[in-house]
Amino acid sequence: MTIAPRDLLAFASQLLNEHSEVAQRAAASRAYYGAYHLGRQVQAHFKIPLADAKRDAGVHENMIVALERCGGLPRAAEVKVQTLGTLLRQCRDLRTEADYHIDQDFSAGKATSTVSISRRAEKLALELLK
């Protein structure tokens, strides 16, 4: 069985209806990964090289930086790809807080923001992948 990025985003939205902090953190995490996988699809679709990203960073950071710094595309697509990178960075930062800073409160508002940002990323990615 396989899943698609939209499945992760839909599940993240469902988790927002749960009112525990665990569910809110899980919503932020799943939302980010849904958006991340869409970002990977955009990166592959436009053949944006990861070599232009940071050398000492991880896979996620390299992909985000590559999108943020992308060039050589038609201007409208380039702006959308760069915006997608910025949105992914925002989602990743919130996901990091949700997943790694468990000794600090993670509010429902932060979870909702993460899902909202990831939905904006989804919209941009789907426009780019048409």
For residue 44, name the pLDDT band (cuts at 50, 70, 90): very high
The string of pLDDT tens digits covering residues 55-81 is: 677 889 999 999 999 999 999 999 999
5-128: CATH topology is Four Helix Bundle (Hemerythrin (Met), subunit A) (1.20.120)
Residue 125 and residue 42 in contact, taking contact as beta carbons nearer than 8 Å: yes
For the entire predicted model, the pTM comes to 0.94
Measured torsion, CA atoms of residues 88, 68, 61, 115, in degrees rounded to the nearest 10: 0
For the record, the structure tokens of 23 come out as 């569910």
The pLDDT of residue 82 is above 90: yes
Q: Which two tokens stand for residue 124?
A: 């941009």
Q: In the chain, what are the domain boundaries?
A: 5-128
pLDDT band at 117 (very low <50, low <70, confident <90, very high): very high
The per-residue pLDDT for 50 is: 84
Per-residue pLDDT tens for 6-18?
A: 999 999 999 999 9
